[in-house]
Structure 1
Amino acid sequence: MNKNDALRLIAGTMILISLILTVTLSINWLWFTAFIAANLIQSSFTKWCPMMVLLKKVGLKD
């Protein structure tokens, strides 16, 4: 698995988790979903994502 595949897997998983938490616990978990979306949008413009730094440190390749 490369960094891009891992990033997509993590982002999708986090969105699903936040939606499950919204349905089961509190509507305020939608703020977490909005944070993920905002981070994905900013990374499309800046070409920088904090998760990519972590994935590189873990040892995943491009």
Structure 2
Amino acid sequence: MSIDRVVLAFAGVMILVGIALAYYVHPYWIALPIFVGLNMFQAAFTGFCPLAIILKKLGVKPGQAFN
């Protein structure tokens, strides 16, 4: 699995977890999916993704987006 797919899968899980926590625990948990969405938006323009940097250092195979 490439870095791109891991980042997308992780972001999707974090968004779903944040929505579930906001529904079942406290509405302020909606900040988690908002943060993930904003991070994905800025990564689309800047190419800077903290998770991609960590995964690259861990030796995950690079993809096309985060070279």
Relative to the length of structure 1, the TM-score reads: 0.94
| Runs of 5+ consecutive residues of structure 1 not aligned to the other structure | none
**Any idea what SS the aligned residue of 2:61 has?**
coil
Could you tell me the percent identity over the aligned residues?
Answer: 32
Displacement after TM superposition at 1:60 (Å): 0.4
User: Tell me, which stretches of 5 or more residues in structure 2 are unaligned?
Assistant: 63-67
Q: Distance in 2 between matches of 1:36 and 1:60?
A: 21
Aligned residue pairs total 62
Q: Secondary structure at the match of 1:48?
A: coil
Q: Which has the higher helix share?
A: 1
Q: What is the CA RMSD across the aligned residues, in angstroms?
A: 0.7
Q: Detail structure 1 runs of 4+ shifted over 3 Å in the superposition.
A: none
2:18 aligned partner: 18
Quick one: distance in 2 between partners of 1:42 and 1:10?
16
**TM-score scaled by length of structure 2:** 0.87
Q: What CA distance in whole angstroms lies between the structure 1 residues aligned with 2:2 and 2:51?
A: 13
Distance 1:12 1:33 in 2: 9
